[in-house]
Amino acid sequence: PIALCWLRRDLRLDDNAALYHALKSGHPVLAVFIFDRIILDPLSDRHDRRVAFIHQQIHALQDQLTQLGSTLLVYYGEPLPIWKQIMQAMPLAGVYTNADYETYAKERDQQVQQLLAEQGIGFHAYKDQTIFDTDEVLTDAKKPYSVFGAYQRKWKANLTDFYVRSYPTQNYFNSFYKTAAQAIPSLASMKFKPVNESFPATQVSDQLLEHYAKNRDKPALEGTTQLSIHLRFGTISIRQLVRQAQAHSERFLTELIWRDFYFQILDHFPHVEHKPFRPNYEAVPWLNREEDIERWQQGMTGYPLVDAGMRQLNQVGWMHNRARLNAASFCIKHLLIDWRIGEAYFAQKLRDYDLAANNGNWQWVAGSGNDASPFFRVFNPVSQAKTFDPKEAYIREWIPEYGTPDYPKPMIEHTFARQRAIDTYRKALNRT
């Protein structure tokens, strides 16, 4: 019988927990990937960077496995029927995979586990995309943390070399099942268009990390790692990256801890996917004006930092974190647009879209999430631009008509919008 390693958001052969355990199981191993129609069919834009990125990575994995005399089995369809098909096609010793914390994924895995169990086949899930599993960093009362500062302290206190050790999969590569390479469905056959863009490198220099703390907030610089797409799809190992962070940048380590933090929030409080983390925030009466939503999405608000960010998002599918904060704050606070509308737009456009991080950050900005600070924080997009883009280099890069009559005037006055947001929140939350 064969041990199958089901790859999902861990698209690499090196330092992969599930693959390591499969290779050590004593059975010949085949790797499997499913283009999941339940996820793909609802995507309205068929020119999708993420699907193209995954497709490219699947080809790269296929090349690596072919060189090892094996193959990647690639399917296109719904997971459950595909697993039925696989179970009929070959005798299975077990299925090895890395845990996923999204509700859809958890339900899917439970169904597959049950299906396999009916035939006595084990489903083995491992921690791979985070340093700590969601129940490994808890309060002294064994409760999940809901505020970052305390979580971070415990995370750091718990960290030992054990948690950042790589899984040496390469030592066991001769355990792959030897067979001819199989075909990969084309993007066109799945009704997606090719994307003629290159993606960021899979690594970051020590030098960038040395300057990370100083440069990370300046959107005109290439001061951040751009590794988000790789962390999203597991084309880089988080353990390797944390070791590099430990050696070169405490501040960068903090950002990676935020990532772990939001995974454990989503896992422990799955209601956040659709509802505010703090239920009383459901009472905020949003305006949700169509015209406002449209202007915000198109980067035509007349606030250059917000607009530069939105245009960067629309054009390249990535936005600098400082711009994300301002764009989200403007959407929620200045325009009183429900954070879920903004969140959904980012989800559609971001090449690094990740439910846990996107939802967590949107809720943080809305004030409804995991933030100890008061609800009345409203970013001032003018002073933010002055502080973080003093030479307007980022703004000019993304708004070619900036400074000409073609660029719109601010669609709403800041002082008015700020006060309106605070009053609206205060009333809805019964705060004085």
Give the DSSP per-residue string, 387-422: HH-TT-HHHHHH-TTTTSTTSPPPSS-HHHHHHHHH
Q: Which is nearer to ligand FAD, 259 or 278 (CB)?
A: 259
Instruction: Kindly state the smallest distance separating residue 49's Cβ from ligand FAD, in Å.
Output: 13
Nearer to ligand FAD, 70 or 228 (CB): 228
CA–CA dist 410, 124 (Å, integer):
55
Report, in Å, the least distance between residue 170 CB and ligand FAD. Answer: 25
Minimum separation from the CB atom of position 252 to ligand FAD (A): 7
Within 10 A of 169 (CB to CB), how many other CB atoms are there? 22
**How distant, in Å, are the alpha carbons of 4, 162, 189, 353 from that of 76?**
17, 37, 9, 21
**For ligand FAD, which is the closer residue by CB, 83 or 362?**
362
| Chain contacts with ligand FAD (rule: CB under 6 A) | 216, 224-228, 231-232, 255-256, 258-259, 262, 321, 324-325, 328, 346, 350, 352-354, 357-358, 361-362, 365
Write out the DSSP string of 320-355.
-HHHHHHHHHIIIIIS---HHHHHHHHHHH-TT--H
Q: Which is nearer to ligand FAD, 74 or 343 (CB)?
A: 343
Beta strands in 67-182 (DSSP E): 72-77, 92-98, 122-126
Q: How far is the CB of 427 from ligand FAD (least distance, A)?
A: 25
**Minimum gap (Å) between residue 282 Cβ and ligand FAD:** 19
Please identify, using beta-carbon distances, which residue of 108 and 324 lies nearer to ligand FAD. 324
Residue 329: partners with Cβ closer than 8 Å, 6 or more residues away: 365, 378, 379, 381
Rg over CA atoms, the chain: 23
Nearer Cβ to ligand FAD (274/409): 274
Closer of 306 and 325 to ligand FAD (Cβ): 325
CB of 373 to ligand FAD, least distance (A): 14
CA atoms within 13 A on the CB side of 424: 23
Least Å from the CB of residue 320 to ligand FAD:
6
